[in-house]
Structure 1
Amino acid sequence: MSFDAIPGQTKVTEFLKQGIRQRRTAHAYCFAGPRGVGRYRTALELAKALNCDAAREDACDRCRNCIRIENGNHPDVWIIEPDGQSIKIDQVRGLQRAFHYTTSENTTRVMIIQQAETMTVQAANSLLKFLEEPITPMVAVLITEHVHSLLPTVLSRCQVLRFAPLAADWIAQKLEGEGFNTAEAWVAAHIAPGLDEAREIASIDGFALLCERVIQWSGEIVSGKSDALLSVQTKWIHKELDKERLELVLDLMLLWLRDLLNQKLKRTVPPVFLKWEDSCRRQAPRWSTSRLLHGMETVIDARRQLAGPVQPQAVLEFMVLAMQGGATNVQSRRRSF
């Protein structure tokens, strides 16, 4: 593999290649971006290119150093991952001790720190000293989804490179090539920023049924009746549906509302829910444009709340009420006495 084989990140890889070509590689990088977009793969390719016997701007993938790095057994390329919930100071100290040993003259040592935002304050401070006083030619690569969670003093020592989400059509094409259903692959590709996560979503047992339930729930919400609230209790809140799956439900709802809005505005863009175009055409007239926009904002807000220490049922119920215009607007099928 090489930098050129990393999809969707040409801006980042060209920047790294230029730095290697001009011998102006930074001593520390922060690869920031969502999971599954090639951050770790790029870090490995950087380590290979810096130590390739061919001494080019990219790895040859044939020399001894390239092969050892690819196979994970090069003594001067270290990969640190969280030990439990965090990266601890002992892990950084172990790295420092290892780097004290001499190495060959043309070697650039590389440390790759996965989920760098999980470093404890002690570990981050220890790494900071290491970055400020390197004892050998080295490059550090900090990989993170949450760049602002890094210690500011550590981040200030890094060249931040931002990785963009991969194109949905590229992800969908890859999933179809792996045998996934076209309609389900297309939906998963619009939810996940990378191929691995999209594959996980498309592999969910009953994923198509989950999409249909979200579409039905949207119809219940726009009807203004209490069915939408009952669905929170009967369909979404139970032991088998954890918070991560509920987040997926809200992601699906947001995409569905966007499809409805595009249908409402007669935009000539391919729908995300390809398999359910007829449902979209039937449901769209029941929504006003302003209500769809408000609904999308409400779903985004609920998605944000769901990531915190809250009761999922309360979040979903409040979302439904907000989308229906408040509790007083929720109609009930029960007849008054």
Structure 2
Amino acid sequence: MSFQEVKGQSQVIRLLQNGLLHGKIAHAYCFAGPRGVGKQKTAMELAKALNCEQKGADACDRCRSCLRIEHGNHPDVIRIKPDGASIKIDQVRQLQRAFSFSPGKEVVRVIMIEQADFMTPQAANSLLKFLEEPVSAMVAILITENIHAMLPTVLSRCQILRFSQLPPAILAKKLEEQGIRKDNARILAHLSQGEEEYQLLDQEEFAQLCRRVIEWNQEILSGKSSALVSIQREWLQKQTENERLPLVLDILLLWLRDLVHHHLNKTGKLDVSVFSEWEAAREEQAYRWNRSRLLLGMEAVLRARSQLAGPMQPQAVLEQMVLAMQEGSL
């Protein structure tokens, strides 16, 4: 691999490569951004480039140093992860002991701390002291999905690089490379936490869940009472146990967006649909709902999605949403 393998983060990669070319790499970075956008891969490629025998703006992937780092057996490149619920001070002390001796010639030691926001205050303070008094050339890379949970004293010592959410096309391709079916990958790529959501279900379960959400939307727009019955008999009975209600609403919102795009793309010149397998259902439901009602429906789903995190009972949240969608008003 090389920096070229990191997709969708051109600004971050350009900054790091400029630093490598001009010898201006920071002593500490904070890689912040959503899950699955290439933070760990970028950290690994930076470690390789810093120690590559070719000494350029990227790793050669052929020299002994690159290969050792790639295979995780380089003694001066260490990865730290939470031990249980947190990163503890003993883990930092172990790191200090490992780095207490002098490294080989021209070696740049690299520490990669994953989920760095899980450091205890004691571990963070110990790390700060270690960074301020290095025994040799060293770069620390703190990786986090929740930068707001990081201690300000830690962030003040880091150059913060923000990783953006991957475009759906890139994420879909990445999911396909992981063995996910193309139609599922396209839908998951448009969900806010696509890769996390997929861990809850296998391929067929996810496809069945999408199919059932689309059928439920048909019940809703038809004004059938079965739309309310489904809440109690299906969604609350089956989905809450697996914490899938937010996913159900995310899929519903995405489906309504597809219906809106169907109205806007009547010429068929643009392939903007996400649910490519359900073309017949999309045409039928889009025909029965006009654009303004679809937008009101999306607003109702968004409101319900936020209410799920509040004190209201899920049954009341879903029932209010269904009634608002059927009445066409909020």
Whether TM exceeds 0.5 here: the answer is: yes
Which amino acid is the alignment partner of residue 77 of structure 1?
Answer: V
Which amino acid is the alignment partner of residue 272 of structure 1?
Answer: V
Comparing 288-297 and 51-60, the one that deviates more: 288-297
Q: What do you get for the CA RMSD once the two structures are aligned?
A: 2.9
Residues 212 and 240 of structure 1: CA distance in aligned 2, closer, same or farther (over 3 Å)? closer
**1:172-187 correspondence to structure 2 within 5 Å:** 172-173=172-173, 175=175, 180-187=180-187
**1:1-337 correspondence to structure 2 within 5 Å:** 1-173=1-173, 175=175, 180-191=180-191, 200=199, 203-238=202-237, 242-266=241-265, 268-306=270-308, 312-324=314-326
Residues 293 and 147 of structure 1: CA distance in aligned 2, closer, same or farther (over 3 Å)? farther
Which amino acid is the alignment partner of residue 206 of structure 2?
Answer: F
**Shift in Å, 1:180:** 4.8
Contact 1:53 1:63 in 2 (8 A): yes
TM-score in terms of structure 1 length: 0.85
Unaligned runs of 5+ in 2: none
Contact 2:33 2:145 in 1 (8 A): yes
Residues 61 and 266 of structure 1: CA distance in aligned 2, closer, same or farther (over 3 Å)? closer
**Shift in Å, 1:71:** 0.9
Give the Cα–Cα distance (whole angstroms) in 2 for the partners of residues 117 and 306 of structure 1. 26
Residues 58 and 297 of structure 1: CA distance in aligned 2, closer, same or farther (over 3 Å)? same
Give the Cα–Cα distance (whole angstroms) in 1 for the partners of residues 225 and 163 of structure 2. 43
Give the Cα–Cα distance (whole angstroms) in 2 for the partners of residues 229 and 214 of structure 1. 13
Give the Cα–Cα distance (whole angstroms) in 1 for the partners of residues 117 and 303 of structure 2. 24
Unaligned runs of 5+ in 1: 331-337
Percentage of identical aligned residues: 57
Give the Cα–Cα distance (whole angstroms) in 1 for the partners of residues 215 and 199 of structure 2. 24
Note the alpha carbon deviations across 1:160-217, whole angstroms, 9 max, x for none.
Answer: 21222333223434555676543223212222667x6587578433222111111122
Contact 1:262 1:269 in 2 (8 A): no
TM-score in terms of structure 2 length: 0.86
**Shift in Å, 1:318:** 4.4
State the secondary structure of the residue aligned to 2:190: helix
Give the Cα–Cα distance (whole angstroms) in 2 for the partners of residues 311 and 68 of structure 1. 53
Which amino acid is the alignment partner of residue 184 of structure 2?
Answer: E
Note the alpha carbon deviations across 1:137-175, whole angstroms, 9 max, x for none.
Answer: 211111111121211221222222122233322343455
Note the alpha carbon deviations across 1:252-280, whole angstroms, 9 max, x for none.
Answer: 11211111121233374521011112212
Give the Cα–Cα distance (whole angstroms) in 2 for the partners of residues 91 and 177 of structure 1. 34
Give the Cα–Cα distance (whole angstroms) in 2 for the partners of residues 132 and 305 of structure 1. 45
State the secondary structure of the residue aligned to 1:238: helix
Give the Cα–Cα distance (whole angstroms) in 2 for the partners of residues 178 and 105 of structure 1. 39
